[in-house]
Amino acid sequence: PPTVGVLALQGDVREHLRMLTEAGARAVAVRRPAELEAVDGLVVPGGESTTMWKLAETFELLEPLRMRVKAGMPAYGSCAGMIMLADRIEDGIAGQQTIGGIDMVVRRNAFGRQVDSFEADLDFAGEPVHAVFIRAPWVESVGPDVDVLGMAQPGDRIVAVRQGPLLATSFHPELTGDTRVHRYFVDMVREL
């Protein structure tokens, strides 16, 4: 099976490891550059993108992450992870940086504050999924090479995208019992 890492600096790492295992991958936590070298694909979990960015710099992972993404490593970001994979962000904190890779603008905390978290049934790449949104970003705009895989009410916002080997969702499939999004990503890792 493919070895799929979960960036384990901060956020809901354990839930992603469990879902990846259920989806048929060999799931491993990634905290050091050497661990990043050893994976076939990487999940960037939900959590807090500002903290994740600072820890990635502290652990000297930001540049290695950018280089592997540039070199074509498949990666999937959920929520804060979506923010981390965006080339441009709105409502970031001063100086906030990302790994980047997906040609899109993502707006942080767009659906509202913690109290405004919500669940919704939506269509993901042609399949129904139950989606959990927690202080979620939405995708404000995408470049020509980005495929939109899912939209959500309110407002018909873009909440799932793919650009080649990179996948991102505003929502948290790892917090549901539904392994569909993780299976979709593990299949991407197998194919790429």
Which amino acids are annotated as binding site for L-glutamine, given as ranges? 47-49, 108, 134-135
Q: Does residue 49 bind ligand GLN (CB under 6 A)?
A: yes
Q: What one-letter code names the amino acid at 131?
A: A
Cα separation values, 57 from 38, 113, 131, 174, 184, Å: 20, 27, 31, 25, 30
Instruction: Quote the CA–CA distance of 172 and 159 in Å, as a whole number.
Output: 11
Q: Does residue 131 bind ligand GLN (CB under 6 A)?
A: no
Of 133 and 184, CB closest to ligand GLN: 133
Instruction: Quote the CA–CA distance of 76 and 88 in Å, as a whole number.
Output: 17
Q: Does residue 173 bind ligand GLN (CB under 6 A)?
A: no
Quick one: which segment of 35-43, 76-84, 152-160, 178-186 binds ligand GLN (CB under 6 A)?
Answer: 76-84
Instruction: Quote the CA–CA distance of 125 and 150 in Å, as a whole number.
Output: 7
Show the tokens assigned to 30.
């990634």
Active site residues: 79, 172, 174
Instruction: Quote the CA–CA distance of 168 and 149 in Å, as a whole number.
Output: 9
Instruction: Quote the CA–CA distance of 20 and 179 in Å, as a whole number.
Output: 8
Out of 35, 48, 127, 187, which residue is the one contacting ligand GLN (CB under 6 A)? 48
Contact letters for ligand GLN, residues 132-171 (x by CB under 6 A): --xx------------------------------------
Q: Does residue 65 bind ligand GLN (CB under 6 A)?
A: no
Out of 2, 5, 41, 47, which residue is the one contacting ligand GLN (CB under 6 A)? 47
Using CB under 6 A, list all residues that contact ligand GLN.
46-49, 79-80, 83, 108-109, 134-135
